[in-house]
Chain A
């Protein structure tokens, strides 16, 4: 079955966050704020089905993968707006116009850099990929909501 949302060891909104209790973020890496797993679709999935994946899973993104793990891109709900008005039943996930939203980080990226990348590009999700040279497998996702929660719990005077 080609058109099927696959769950990479994750439920809705990714998996549990790793090291949830660690609130201090100085010198911390993406590995400590990410959530494991991602909700994915194939390159040939129609955009109508992508919209259904988002609504059923109650998420605002869908990672595009080739095969089972190789990351090809990320479709957010904002990107779907561009397809509105076109015949998106027949459009494939790989035809989504704004493809430079595929932004990836690795487990060792500092959180500051990840946040700077998010703010610069105006996105709310980043894909965490493995840093091995031979594969770009999806490991998890960084959500902006976790970063905002981090800001809300920051100690007084906590400028970084």
Chain B
């Protein structure tokens, strides 16, 4: 199973100059947990999730910019990698939203997102006992 079979196609994004109140509005309208912050050329710059929003709960959010609270995003994930490799990255950086960028263009255009819930969906579909076998299949290209 590759990442592109499991990820959400398409992302909802905002600009770095948008206010945090707008970001909250986007999250509520689209029922999202994370919004990708892009720059003027549409490249990935950062990410805002619930975790960043809750940290700024008590401040005046209509004055804050998305740039002030976003988390810089530097991990590059290729959609053709196996899911196991994405899970390795999640465990290592302790962050459960991975932005998938298009590998065929030079700029970092976001094309999808993989969250922990997608991995849970993948875990739930497996029949009992089949997982050990699939794990061995997944390990072989990495080594």
Interface residues of A (CB under 8 A from B): 47-48, 51-52, 54-56, 60, 76-78, 80-85, 87-89, 112, 115-116, 118-119, 122, 124, 144-145, 147-149, 151-152, 154, 156-160
Complex formed: what's the CA distance from A122 to B135 in Å?
29
Interface residues of B (CB under 8 A from A): 20-21, 24-25, 27-28, 31, 33, 50-51, 53-55, 57-62, 84, 87, 90-91, 96, 115-117, 119-121, 123-126, 128-129, 131-132, 135
Q: Do B57 and A152 have beta carbons less than 8 Å apart?
A: no
- Which B residues lie within 8 Å of A54 (CB)? 117, 120, 124
- Choose from B27, B126, B129 the contact partner of A152 (Cβ within 8 Å): B27
Q: Do B54 and A118 have beta carbons less than 8 Å apart?
A: yes
| Minimum CB distance partner of B59 in chain A | A159
- Which A residues lie within 8 Å of B91 (CB)? 81-82
Q: Do A159 and B58 have beta carbons less than 8 Å apart?
A: yes
Q: Do A124 and B96 have beta carbons less than 8 Å apart?
A: no
Q: Do A81 and B55 have beta carbons less than 8 Å apart?
A: no
Complex formed: what's the CA distance from A152 to B117 in Å?
24
**A118-B54, A147-B57, A148-B53 given as contacts; is B21 within 8 A of A48 (CB)?**
no
- Which B residues lie within 8 Å of A51 (CB)? 120-121, 123-124
Q: Do B57 and A115 have beta carbons less than 8 Å apart?
A: yes
Q: Do A77 and B120 have beta carbons less than 8 Å apart?
A: yes
Complex formed: what's the CA distance from A27 to B84 in Å?
46
**A80-B116, A81-B96 given as contacts; is B58 within 8 A of A152 (CB)?**
no
**A87-B132, A152-B28, A158-B61 known, 15 other contacts, Cβ within 8 Å:** A48-B128, A54-B120, A60-B116, A77-B116, A78-B96, A81-B90, A85-B135, A89-B129, A115-B57, A145-B33, A148-B53, A151-B20, A151-B61, A152-B21, A159-B59
Q: Do A77 and B59 have beta carbons less than 8 Å apart?
A: no
| 22 intermolecular pairs with C-beta atoms under 8 Å apart | A48-B126, A51-B123, A54-B120, A55-B124, A77-B119, A78-B96, A81-B87, A81-B90, A81-B91, A84-B123, A85-B84, A115-B54, A118-B54, A122-B51, A124-B50, A145-B31, A145-B50, A147-B54, A147-B57, A148-B53, A157-B60, A160-B58
